[in-house]
Amino acid sequence: MSALNLGTYAQNTWCPGCGNFAILSAFRMAITELTGEGAGVEKFALVSGIGCHAKIVDYINMNSFYSIHGRVVPVAEAIKLASPEIKVIGFAGDGDAYGEGIEHLIFAAKRNIDITMIIHNNRVYGLTTGQYTPTSPLGFKGRSTPHGTKELPINPLEVMLASGAAFLARGTSHGLPLLKKIFKEAIMHKGFSLVDVLQVCVTYYNMYEYYDKRVYELQGHNTGDYNQALNKAREWDYNTDAKIALGVFYKKTAPTFEENFLRTGERKKIDRDLKVKEFLKNAI
């Protein structure tokens, strides 16, 4: 199976030049490579929210669930708990993940459930035509803020690090080989992983030039060092003209939620079986 075979017949309605195309291509390539040309593709499940980003599941020929705005994480968690052998990947927008769904994201990182979240961070509500989001810069002029926002953006990498995320990375929609590499690593990492993709929305917030001037790939960075990761995450605060690091910021190995959950479940089952045996012994 080639990356092309993961395509569907759904009509693509993204604007020409939208950064979502790069995410789609990088993801299809990552899955093709991870599955050894497509074998075992049924071992993956995709979940998306509502927004321009969410249409991605219509364009990938894999098992998927088109959920609702802000609720990608709970749906992904439910699939993982019901079928721990499945690799679950969630696609969410910045409005979806860092706005309405932020509490789910924080708790998923905290409990270290083994899902991968890919955030199409275009720093605007694309589908609803250009309102500001938690990552829009101070002064952002959009449909709901014609005179500019009056609040500072959040730094999602910092929030995720503080919440206990086991794997954290950043890519852009203008760097396909790096994005593919990061996706593969995030998907294969055991535990909660998040890739923040600076995805350009050409229609409502065209940042190609801004990003192209500032991005650089992390070199010699110790991904096991929390403080180094935090410093790198703080280097660019989504509002200034600082350089923007790309690559894997942080990764750690820790027991996952489903491992702990299943252990408890198994214990309950053993307890129940013992009780049944005892009941039968007494009954005879």
Ligand X SMILES: Cc1ncc(C[n+]2csc(CCOP(=O)(O)OP(=O)(O)O)c2C)c(N)n1
- Complex with ligand X: residue 72 or 215, whichever CB lies closer: 72
CB of 70 to ligand X, least distance (A): 6
Number of neighbours of residue 217 by Cβ within 10 angstroms: 11
- Complex with ligand X: residue 112 or 133, whichever CB lies closer: 133
Contact call for residues 68 and 94 (beta carbons, < 8 A): no
Using the rule CB under 6 A, is 128 a contact of ligand SF4? no
Query: Residue 193 binds what, of ligand X, ligand SF4, Mg ion, none (CB under 5 to 8 Å, by partner type)?
Result: none
Query: Residue 27 binds what, of ligand X, Mg ion, ligand SF4, none (CB under 5 to 8 Å, by partner type)?
Result: none
Query: Residue 77 binds what, of Mg ion, ligand SF4, ligand X, none (CB under 5 to 8 Å, by partner type)?
Result: none
- Residues from 3 through 22 that contact ligand SF4 (CB under 6 A): 14-15, 18, 20
Using the rule CB under 5 A, is 196 a contact of Mg ion? no
- Residues from 67 through 106 that contact ligand X (CB under 6 A): 68-70, 93-96, 100
Sole binder of ligand SF4 in the list 70, 99, 126, 191 (CB under 6 A): 126
- Residues from 179 through 218 that contact ligand SF4 (CB under 6 A): 201-204
- Complex with Mg ion: residue 93 or 175, whichever CB lies closer: 93
Which pair of tokens denotes residue 50?
């509502």
Interaction pattern, residues 27-66, with ligand X; x per rule: CB under 6 A: -----------------------xxxx-------------
- Positions touching ligand SF4 (CB under 6 A) are 14-15, 18, 20, 52, 122, 126, 201-204
For Mg ion, the binding residues (CB under 5 A) are 93-95, 122, 126
